[in-house]
């Protein structure tokens, strides 16, 4: 977090800047942030101003007689002032904070036909994100994907809100896409919820914002906000089982014959593990290992041969596969679009 935070607040990278909100929730958060900054800035200037003035005005001069100045004990007006003024400031902050909370915490409604709302369950895992697509427009979806969240954008007629249910499979994580929403923790044994909504299509970057182990810094987030037609096309493709390309049968058999199937699922095959990322449409994702490297032949080969060289400490071990096995499996993966 220490590296990421200055980036996030500097505004240099619009992709993660809290000063470029792209949703109603982050708009409210920015207002609150600027107001709190202004109030604390004003307090800082007053306090430091009085301090500097006093240092200069009452400093020891050579003309001083060298005895202690008159001592003053207690002053009712001063004590009332320094109790009332902070109390007033705190009261104002409580009011604006309550308003922001009300604007940001939207409870997820029940999915209904025609609502054009998307419901996704996000599972935080060491160190990647699992997305269980539950409902869109009231229709049950029931597919699982990883690391790259696709959402539809709203327009003047339809808001197309996205409701996330956040859970954890292991330790605490925190879902933070600075331009779309505030942070929300994923806590073992608890369900949190979150609301995203935007009218701006594009890629939004984010980061796990709660220390969760060795690779916490590389638990990156990518949210693709798409025009409704693109989003529906993506959705339709994700709902299909994996293609069975006859030209990569060697790789397919190799994969299905190894212990890969204990952790990974490829719908339409006997691989039904649920512990690692679902690979049914692996090549529809732009990155591997939660946004760490591009998802291409070279990185896939490195990953399958030894994931630890890309993400040390991750839960997938090296299986000591031969060059030939790695090549065949990657050829198979490249067909999973």
- Closer Cβ to ligand CUA, 53 or 211, answer by number: 211
Which of 115, 210, 226, 278 binds ligand CUA (CB under 6 A)? It is: 210
Least Å distance, CB 222 to ligand CUA, is 15
- Closer Cβ to ligand CUA, 218 or 332, answer by number: 218
Which of 120, 181, 219, 242 binds ligand CUA (CB under 6 A)? It is: 219
Contacts (CB under 6 A) with ligand CUA, residues 125-144: 127
Q: Which of 151, 150, 147 is nearest to 125 (CA)?
A: 147
- Closer Cβ to ligand CUA, 220 or 336, answer by number: 220
Q: Do residues 128 and 219 touch, judged by C-beta distance below 8 A? A: yes
Q: Which of 183, 170, 173, 166 is nearest to 123 (CA)?
A: 166
What gap in Å lies between CA 177 and CA 291, rounded to an integer?
14
What gap in Å lies between CA 232 and CA 238, rounded to an integer?
10
Site string for ligand CUA, 158-197 (x = CB under 6 A): ---------------x------------------------
**Distances 4 to 12, 29, 101, 115, 293 between C-alpha atoms, Å:** 12, 19, 25, 36, 18
Least Å distance, CB 302 to ligand CUA, is 23
- Closer Cβ to ligand CUA, 175 or 333, answer by number: 175
Examine residue 16 and tell whether it contacts ligand CUA (CB under 6 A).
no
What gap in Å lies between CA 300 and CA 329, rounded to an integer?
9
Q: What is the largest CA-CA distance in the chain?
A: 101
Contacts (Cβ under 8 Å, ≥6 apart) of 57: none
Which of 41, 211, 237, 249 binds ligand CUA (CB under 6 A)? It is: 211
Q: Up-side HSE of residue 225: CA atoms within 13 Å toward CB? A: 23
- Closer Cβ to ligand CUA, 144 or 219, answer by number: 219
What gap in Å lies between CA 169 and CA 188, rounded to an integer?
6
Q: Which two tokens stand for residue 221?
A: 């987030």
Q: Do residues 120 and 143 touch, judged by C-beta distance below 8 A? A: no
- Closer Cβ to ligand CUA, 173 or 179, answer by number: 173
Contacts (CB under 6 A) with ligand CUA, residues 190-209: 208
Examine residue 216 and tell whether it contacts ligand CUA (CB under 6 A).
yes
Examine residue 124 and tell whether it contacts ligand CUA (CB under 6 A).
yes
Which residues are at the interface with ligand CUA (CB under 6 A)? 124, 127, 173, 208, 210-212, 216, 219
């Amino acid at each position: 977090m220490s590296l990421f935070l200055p980036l996030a607040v500097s505004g240099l990278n619009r992709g993660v800047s809290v000063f470029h909100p792209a949703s109603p929730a982050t708009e409210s958060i920015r207002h609150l942030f600027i107001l709190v900054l202004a109030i604390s800035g004003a307090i800082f200037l007053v306090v430091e101003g009085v301090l500097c003035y006093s240092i200069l005005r009452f400093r020891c001069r050579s003309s001083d007689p060298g005895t202690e100045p008159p001592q003053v004990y207690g002053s009712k007006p001063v004590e009332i002032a320094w109790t009332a003024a902070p109390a007033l400031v705190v009261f104002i902050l409580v009011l604006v904070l309550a308003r922001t909370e009300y604007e940001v915490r939207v409870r997820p409604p029940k999915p209904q036909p025609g609502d054009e709302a998307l419901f996704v369950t996000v599972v935080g895992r060491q160190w990647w994100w699992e997305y269980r697509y539950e409902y869109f427009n009231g229709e049950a979806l029931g597919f699982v994907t990883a690391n790259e969240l696709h959402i539809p954008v709203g327009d003047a007629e339809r808001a197309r809100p996205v409701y996330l249910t956040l859970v954890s499979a292991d330790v605490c994580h925190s879902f933070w896409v600075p331009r779309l929403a505030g942070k929300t923790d994923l806590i073992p044994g608890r369900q949190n919820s979150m609301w995203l909504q935007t009218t701006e299509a594009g890629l939004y970057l984010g980061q796990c914002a709660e220390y969760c182990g060795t690779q916490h810094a590389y638990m990156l987030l990518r949210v693709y906000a798409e025009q409704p037609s693109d989003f529906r096309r993506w959705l339709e493709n994700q709902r299909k089982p994996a293609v069975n390309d006859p030209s990569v049968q060697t790789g397919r058999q190799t994969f299905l014959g190894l212990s890969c199937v204990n952790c990974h699922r490829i719908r339409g095959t006997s691989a039904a593990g649920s512990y690692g990322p679902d690979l049914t449409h692996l090549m529809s994702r732009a990155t591997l290992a939660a946004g760490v490297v591009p998802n291409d032949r070279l990185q896939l080969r490195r990953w399958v041969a030894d994931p630890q060289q890309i993400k040390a400490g991750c839960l997938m071990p090296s299986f000591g596969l031969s060059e030939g096995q790695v090549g065949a499996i990657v050829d198979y993966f490249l067909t999973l679009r």
